[in-house]
Structure 1
Amino acid sequence: MIRRNALLILGTSLLISTSLQANPTEETEALYQQHCASCHGADRLGGMGPALLPQNLSRLKQPAAEAVIRNGQPATQMPAFADVLDADAITALADYIYRAPAKTPDWGQAEILASHLLPHPSGTLPDEPAYKADMMNLFLVVETGDHHVTVLDGDKMEPIHRFASRYALHGGPKYSPDGRYVYFGSRDGWITRYDLFNLTVTAEVRAGINMRNIAVSADGKYVMAANYLPHTLVLFDAANLELVDVIPVGNDAGDSSRVSAVYTAPPRNSFIAALKDIPEAWEITVQDGEAKVRQMQTDTWLDDFFFDPDYQHLIGAARDGKRGYVINLDTGATIAELPLPGMPHLGSGVTWESQGRRVMATPHLGTGAVSIIDMQTWEVIKTLKTEGPGFFMRSHENSRYAWVDVFFGPNQDKVHVIDKQTLEIVKTLQPAPGKVAAHVEFDRYGKKLLLSIWEKDGAVIVYDAETLEEEKRIPMNKPSGKYNVWNKINYEEGTSH
């Protein structure tokens, strides 16, 4: 939304607002085209600003959207319109962007190709870092408060660089196998390839209108995007994000589906996709630039996935929020059912060795509990009571502890520390009373860890992983997630994959 001549806008908006009740759709459409289309697109698919469609705005409540129109958005190009639009016009405009368009927008091969940006083609930048740091111990901190990313030195625990990202990054960044490049996926469908040696964007492309996440193949050759809108998986060459294939997602009966997420399965040299609207999971392999899909029928709709370390089994959360299913990825057969009431957040699960057996642990989105599961017998061996539903759980192979937040409810300023051998909560921290504490990430050695104060005036807190003592606070703008290069490219057992 770009500010026009104030007097002209004021006069026009007053005329429009007085007739909104007479013909709200037509007049509000005119209001949108005048004030918003130049940045958000005439079709609301986005441009300089994000897409303004109901699916893309799912995390923003309509009153909050009205406040953004009225007051602007700090540290962005979104201006305030309180001085040029009256209250009725702002309300009508907010209502309009939360309504689905009359025609479902398209985003196929032509649109993807037209969106491709290539400021620095592969091979045109220096092959040495422009600064001194352990490249394997870098963290990327995603700051959603003003849509920026901070590159953090994991040895000194000091910022190296901060840069603007696309709007609403989602699903966590993914690294190339050598750790040099990082790939970001935005809610609006943009994929960004960023060079950590030269601290610059090398390529971008828009894979869809509403995208869930991306995955990078184990060999680093491909990037795959999972879309809600349209119902597609999209495959790119990782080097310059050139389009390889657009895969419509549907079953043999002709039903199409949104894609909940896509994951990399390194030992299998494949991608695994979770489908939202069809009771299937897909395994996609790429041979000679061609994607081949293997469809696996599931007993029900699965909303979230977890994998054992060898990627022999997939553990999916049933949509009813009461159980999980264990699927053998070789046969596609369901081999176990897990009682997991309270909607487990399996995407945040972790594994470790406890008393001679491999266990996995997952927080729950709907109840204050952490479930611990024996991965040999597929039995829930313990349920820890927490002070509220959690979202993120993290550990490290070299740490004796696992950490889980209390992301939802009145105790969201607390975080629990679990002893991985006794399977008991041994400490509960409250680092910033009244402020959300969430998302732990360890350094590459498991000696230190970062915890977010998830607020606009927030911070990343550095802890000693053994003593659990706080060492320092680094101010950040709503640091939603931290991602260590070593942990991510080595699929460290204590971090999400």
Structure 2
Amino acid sequence: MKRLLVSAALTMAVLISTGCQTLPPPEGRELRGTGDLGLIIERATGSVLVVDHSEHAVLGRVEGLGDLSHASVVYSRDARYGYVFGRDGGLTRVDLLTRQVTDRIIQSGNSIGGAISQNGRYVAVSNYEPGGVNIFDSSTLDLVAEIPAIYTNAQGEQGQSKTVGLVDAPGNQFVFSLFDAGEIWTVDMHRHPPGVERYPAGKEPYDALITPDGRYYIAGLFGEDGLSMMDLWAPEQGARTILPGYGKGEQRLPVYKMPHLEGWAIADGYAFVPAVGRHEVLVADMEDWRMVQRIPVQGQPVFVMASPDNRQIWVSFAHPLNDVVQVIDSRTREVIRTLEPGKSVLHMEFTPRGEEVWVSSRDSNRVTVYSTRTLEPVATLPAQKPSGIFFTNRAHQLGL
């Protein structure tokens, strides 16, 4: 006990001698961190829920975020602020602790997502109308750069392309694809003005991802079977096609919803990829990017996501078979469970260490939390037409 008292006295003496002091929390407000918080998009009401995934709790609702029919979120480096990208071109900065909108701008006519730079200073938004990428100061939302996606088509005419697959990359870069032009562009934010480089890609890239180490940028191609991959360590080599012709000779099904590549599954040296217009998950060997297996699933996959320990692959589906989620064992590559979280499953998000996964069911107005150990539900939370779920650990991951 004497030692404890002496230790406490010494600690207080150090604080006093260095000019530091302990302060009580602000009146009426509890001090807390943001590491177990997140935002859930309520797509029909222009609102987001602030949630605590440790307690399975909704802490509050933030309203006035516009059209969230296709919305996503990135986080500041301190994981206090979420930047919400809305379909109406809105960019909204939300304070998770005060649960308030701090800034909001309308920066285009139609946007589909965004990214925050490696150093946290810039937020970039990918736009359909007008096509291009706008870059903003993350503290003030002041415009830093406009990058219109101008290209020349085969007839020699100039056009402005929709931009898709925007991610952050090492070296304080942004990378994105031009759907109409079939190109991949990189933006170096260390240069003033930002340096833009252009590279040819495959036909009609519709979405993209960056591998967890930040080396490979991979764009899915709607206009042809295959994916376009660029090595960001050697961008001068350009993009090359991987998994070419995976559907050659087969009848293609109507595509009800384009797969999302962000968050796709990479486990044990293999990539698990949603096949466009097919009831399959493709497995590619990342050593040479050849296809090694097709895993049959119950519908057209939209999200194919690996648990943080890479033991499981969780798959959601497009309409009309979108009321279920299937779980694949990454070792056996077989479906081990089919779950029914509710009507119109739209998104999934693993907790940072992977003990649970949260699943949104738009038409059931709820989010279901599953244990990844038992594959049983452990909690449900009410939500108004929920879609995207975004936890703050994304603040410390590339490309999310």
TM range (shorter): 0.7 to 0.9
**Is the aligned partner of 1:385 residue 2:296?**
yes
1:421 aligns with 2:324: no
Percent identity of equivalent pairs: 26
Alignment of 1:301-450 (within 5 A): 301-329=204-232, 330-338=235-243, 339-341=245-247, 345=259, 347-354=261-268, 358-398=269-309, 400-409=311-320, 411-432=321-342, 435-450=343-358
Q: Following the alignment from structure 1 to structure 2, what is the Cα–Cα distance between the partners of residues 384 and 480?
A: 26
2:177 is aligned with 1:274? yes
* Secondary structure of 2:151 counterpart: coil
Describe the SS at the equivalent of 1:428.
Answer: strand
Indicate the residue corresponding to 1:490 in structure 2.
396
Residue 326 of structure 1: how far off its partner (Å): 2.2
Q: Deviations over 1:435-457 (max 9, x none)?
A: 223422111221111111221x4
Q: Give the Cα separation in 2 of the matches to 1:269 and 1:184.
A: 21
CA distance in structure 1 between the partners assigned to 2:329 and 2:33 by the alignment: 30
Q: Any idea what SS the aligned residue of 2:108 has?
A: coil
Per the normalisation by structure 2, the TM-score is 0.83
Instruction: Give the aligned partner of residue 140 of structure 1.
Output: 39
Alpha-carbon distance between aligned partners in 2 of 1:128 and 1:394, rounded to the nearest angstrom:
42
Query: In the alignment, what sits opposite 1:103?
Result: none
416-425 vs 397-406, which deviates more? 397-406
Distance in 1, Cα, partners of 2:223 & 2:26: 49
Distance across 1 between alignment mates of 2:205 and 2:67: 28
Match of 1:287 among 176, 190, 203: 190
For 1:453 and 1:174, the matched residues in 2 are separated by 22
The alignment status of 1:182 with 2:82, answered yes or no, reads: yes
Aligned 8 A contact 1:348 1:393 in 2 = no
Question: Is the 1:325–1:337 contact (alpha carbons within 8 Å) kept by the matching residues of 2?
Answer: yes
Judge which range, 470-479 or 280-289, deviates more: 280-289
Q: Tell me, in whole angstroms, the C-alpha distance in 1 between the residues paired with 2:28 and 2:372.
A: 29
**Pick from 93, 112, 117: which aligns with 1:217?**
117
Q: Quick one: which amino acid aligns to residue 43 of structure 2?
A: T
Q: Secondary structure of the equivalent of 2:181?
A: coil
CA contact (8 A) 2:91 2:106 kept: yes
Q: Deviations over 1:180-200 (max 9, x none)?
A: 111011111111111122221
Deviations 1:66-101 (A, max 9, x none): xxxxxxxxxxxxxxxxxxxxxxxxxxxxxxxxxxxx
Alignment check: 8 A CA contact 2:205 2:223 kept: no
Where does the alignment leave 5 or more consecutive residues of structure 1 unmatched?
A: 1-125
Q: Is the 8 A contact 2:75 2:82 kept in 1?
A: yes
- RMSD value, Cα: 2.5
1:395 to partner: Cα distance? 2.7
Partners of 2:261 and 2:28 in 1: CA distance: 32
SS at match of 1:316: strand
Deviation of 1:405 after TM superposition, in Å, equals 1.2
CA contact (8 A) 1:249 1:258 kept: yes
Cα gap change, 1:220 to 1:418, in 2 (>3 Å)? same
Structure 2, unpaired ranges of 5+: 1-24
Distance across 2 between alignment mates of 1:256 and 1:175: 33
Going from structure 1 to structure 2, the CA distance change for 1:332 and 1:283 (only over 3 Å counts) comes to farther
- CA positional deviation for 1:381: 1.4
1:114-125 mapped onto 2 (5 Å cutoff): none
1:136 is paired with a residue whose SS is coil
Report the counterpart of residue 370 of structure 2 in structure 1.
463
Change (3 A) 1:429 1:299: closer
Deviation of residue 289 (structure 1)?
4.9
Q: Distance in 2 between matches of 1:333 and 1:232?
A: 21
Structure 1 residue aligned with 2:50? 151
Change in CA separation of 1:299 and 1:321 when aligned onto 2, cut-off 3 Å:
closer
**1:352 deviation in Å?**
3.3
- The Cα of 1:346 is off from its aligned counterpart by 5.0
TM-score of the pair, normalised by structure 1: 0.68
Secondary structure of the 1:294 match is: strand
Aligned residue for 1:489, secondary structure, equals: helix
1:168 deviation in Å?
A: 2.2
- Secondary structure at the aligned position of 2:283 is classed as strand
Instruction: Write the letter of the residue equivalent to 1:200.
Output: Q
Looking at structure 1, the residues matched to 297 and 146 of structure 2 have their Cα atoms a distance apart, in angstroms, of 43
Instruction: Decide whether aligned partners of structure 1 residues 478 and 365 sit closer, same or farther in structure 2, where only a CA change above 3 A counts.
Output: farther
TM-superposition CA deviations, 1:227-280 (whole Å, max 9, x none): 211233211111110111222221366623223325333323200011121121
Of residues 242, 245, 251, the one that matches 2:151 is 251
1:396 Cα offset (Å):
2.6
Structure 1 residue ranges, 4+ long, deviating more than 6 angstroms after superposition? 126-129
Q: How many residues align?
A: 361
Q: Distance in 1 between matches of 2:28 and 2:182?
A: 46
Could you say what secondary structure the match of 1:268 adopts?
coil
Deviations 1:110-147 (A, max 9, x none): xxxxxxxxxxxxxxxx9999545551111211111322
Q: Which amino acid aligns with 2:360?
A: S
Quote the residue 1:8 is aligned against: none
What amino acid is the match of 2:274? Answer: P
In 1, Cα distance between the equivalents of 2:381 and 2:52? 12
Residue 454 of structure 1 contacts residue 480 of structure 1 at CA under 8 Å; is this kept in 2? Answer: yes
Shift of the 438–191 alpha-carbon distance from structure 1 to 2, 3 Å rule, reads: closer
* Mapped contact 1:386–1:406 kept (Cα < 8 A): no
Letter aligned with residue 329 of structure 2: D
Hey, which of these two has a bigger chunk of strand by percent? Answer: 2
Question: Is residue 265–residue 313 contact of structure 2 (8 Å, CA) maintained in 1?
Answer: no
Do the aligned partners of residues 127 and 373 (structure 1) sit closer, same or farther apart at CA in structure 2, a change above 3 Å counting?
farther
Deviations for 1:360-406, whole angstroms, at most 9, x for unmatched residues?
A: 11223422111111111101111111111121222332352121012
* SS of residue paired to 2:318: coil
Q: Which has a greater percent of helix?
A: 1
> Could you tell me whether the CA contact under 8 Å between 1:150 and 1:162 is conserved in 2?
yes
Counterpart Cα distance in 1 of 2:126 and 2:26: 31
What is the CA-CA distance between 1:331 and the residue it aligns to?
2.2
Cα deviation, residue 299, structure 1: 4.0
> How far off its partner does 1:479 sit?
0.9
